[in-house]
Amino acid sequence: MTPTPEIRSRLPHVGTTIFSTMSALAQQHGAVNLGQGFPDFDCDPALVEAVHQAMKAGHNQYPLMTGVPALRQGIAAKMEALYGRRYDADREITVTAGATQALLSTLLAIVHPGDEVIVLEPCYDAYGPEIELAGGTVVCVKLLPDTYRPDLPAIAAAITPRTRALVINTPHNPSGRIWPAEDLQALSDLLAPTSVLVISDEVYEHMVFDGRQHESAARFPGLAARSFVISSFGKTYHVTGWKVGYVAAPAALMAEFRKVHQFNVFTVNTPVQHGLAAYLQDPRPYRDLPAFYQRKRDLFREGLAGSRLRLLPCEGTYFQCVDYSALGEPSGLAPDEFCRWLTREIGVAAIPLSAFYAEPGDDRLIRFCFAKQDETLRSALEKLCRL
């Protein structure tokens, strides 16, 4: 047989992700999967109908590369209403194939070989590989322990003449914490004398609990002027499989983003964009989202109160982190091994927080996703309370 030519990997250290591994293990053992971050319930039927009507109306060919105008206008209006900054729908907003594509296209647009990009750990596992694909060097700075807020002196110390960008994320995955206004303002002040750009991952912007407010980079003029703000309709409307998100940025930055975007995916699903544009006209679905997920958070937290797992604060997102160090013998397992044990022996799949670090530590912390039907959560809680 003719051998297949070998290639030199662009990501030699990347293998199967812990998310895929745990989902496969959950399926193998019939476990309740609270690992990967997606809902197991349907979206609003009205949203599906809006997409159906768009298809029937003939919106089935390529839209503009930048996105359907009505959708970009809706995004601009929403961001102005929520954060007080008016983005120009024609020049400063682009619809993307989800937030991950938005992030990669941003990095490809701004990062050159030799540039450094600061990421704040623990962080979404796509950040590092995407920086490497863009030719950049990942510089890891840890968030403050316990609070998962930015360590401003550590960030300042990490900035060098080669620093091109800083990636921030609030509400924060995986910790479920949010950054208050003073952190964003302090970050704005810190970056003011630099040319460092900001990539602000805000996909959980509408999942903030207990009366708190999401502090978008768009709300702070000093940050907005240097930021690519990224969000996701998939997270907001329970349609992660549709893979539609967007980026908002000043016109000069957006012009460079679009150069990459047009040769990356070029454009995004047309009828879905039209359906989202129609659905976005009513703000109630995203305004009601905090209460919707807070109820699920409370159900899950109250159920875990009967276990020996120590609950960490959860202020936003749909993730609950716990410390398993009080469990006796199982607490001796490293987080990834504990998650495998939990899946096999208890019947609930989770994700270790160690998966969100370049160099995992020994914290006994794992993350559950509570974006699930109540029956799913109750089934998991019944099993977890055996611990």
Q: pLDDT tens digits for 8-59?
A: 999 998 887 888 889 999 999 999 999 988 899 999 999 999 999 999 999 9
336 pLDDT exceeds 80? Answer: yes
Q: What's the mean pLDDT in 356-370?
A: 91
Q: For position 279, what pLDDT does the model report?
A: 98
Distance CA 25, CA 21 (A): 6
Report the DSSP pairing between strands 245-248 and 227-232.
antiparallel
Using pLDDT thresholds of 50, 70 and 90, give the confidence band for residue 297: very high
Nearest of 306, 296, 289 to residue 368 by alpha carbon: 296
Kindly give the pairing relationship between strand 310-311 and strand 319-323: antiparallel
Q: What is the pLDDT of residue 167?
A: 98
Taking 90 as the threshold, does the pLDDT of residue 134 lie above it?
Answer: yes
Model confidence at 361: pLDDT above 80: no
Supply the mean pLDDT for the chain.
96
Percent of the chain with pLDDT over 90: 93
Helix, strand, or coil (residue 235): helix
315 alpha carbon, distance to own chain's centre: 15
Q: How confident is the model at residue 275 (pLDDT cuts 50, 70, 90)?
A: very high
> Is the entire prediction scored with pTM above 0.85?
yes
Spell out the residues 6+ positions from residue 257 whose beta carbon is closer than 8 angstroms to its own. 94, 105, 106, 109, 228, 247, 249
Measured CA to CA, the distance from residue 292 to residue 217 in angstroms comes to 24
Helix (H) or strand (E) holding 368: strand 365-369
pLDDT at residue 306, rounded to an integer:
81
- Region 105-133: mean pLDDT is 97
In the chain, the domains with their CATH numbers are: 18-37+287-384 (3.90.1150.10), 45-282 (3.40.640.10)
Cα–Cα distances in angstroms (integers) from residue 162 to residues 36, 108, 117, 118, in the given order: 35, 16, 9, 11
